[in-house]
Amino acid sequence: MTNPIKIMLVDDHLLFREGMASLLQRDARFEILSEADNGISALETVKNALPDIILMDVKMPGMNGIEATRKLLATYPDLKVIMITASEKDEDLFEAVKAGAQGYILKTVTDSRYMRDAIWRVAEGEAIIPPAMAPRLLNEFAILSVGKNGERKNIENKNERSKAPRKEEAPEINLLTPRENEVLELVAEGLTNKEIANRLIISVNTVRSHLRFILDKLHINNRVQAALWFQKEKNEK
């Protein structure tokens, strides 16, 4: 990237925004484009100046970060959102990923270099999840979503599924071409688009095209979900 990454800070705590702005302004890779104190003001602010990445708090009054992320990405699908939060609750992480967040960084992080590099890596096409939370996220993703009464959504009960004729069972991964399968596996390994392009000897634009088709075919929103979906399918085999 030759131009600075344009950042929007969304957090209801002014002191935190000021601290993040001070941290990132010392790094030539970043430019603080705008700020907002909740999801509602973020939706309004982004209309006037579209950033490359939004650093979004989860818990905010008016409209929380997860709902704001869902609305923003519905309108601006190329926008990248990183949740910067104190919450280590599994449900917050899972809902953030479902909403389309490309990263989830805890405010307890004390390494400023890690924070800056994580933002850079998301801008480069990677996904950032706290290592300690990744296994719990994979477990949650395996059941996709749990209803208020404990009923699973978007996935059939194993007993019901076993009753269906084998020939009617068509794993979604069969919808992908061999090349798309290769791309998906490398995404699951955590490779960036550039690294995938180098590995497969194709252009970065071709990788982006494959990834777009993969997301469309699997009916998921981003590479984080794609990686978790691949791991779930791999574990079930």
Q: Residue 114 pLDDT more than 60?
A: yes
Residue 150 has pLDDT above 60, yes or no: no
Check residue 123 and give its pLDDT.
87
The domains of the chain, with CATH numbers, are: 5-130 (3.40.50.2300), 156-236 (1.10.10.10)
Helix (H, G, I), strand (E, B) or coil at 10: strand
Phi, psi of 163 (to 5 degrees): -80, -20
pLDDT at residue 155 in the model: 37
Closest by alpha carbon to 68, among 53, 84, 52, 57? Answer: 57
Pairwise CA distance, residues 205 & 137, whole Å = 29
| Neighbour-count burial for 64-96, b at 16+ CB within 10 Å, e otherwise | bbbbbbbbbbeeeeebbbbbbbebeeeebbbbb
- Ranked by mean pLDDT, the top range of 51-55, 135-139, 191-195 is 51-55
Note the pLDDT of residue 161: 39
pLDDT of 91 reads 79
Q: Look at residue 10 in the predicted model and tell me its pLDDT.
A: 96
Place 96 in a pLDDT band, splitting at 50, 70 and 90: confident
Q: Percent of the chain, pLDDT > 70? A: 79
Q: Is 99 helix (H, G, I), strand (E, B) or coil?
A: helix
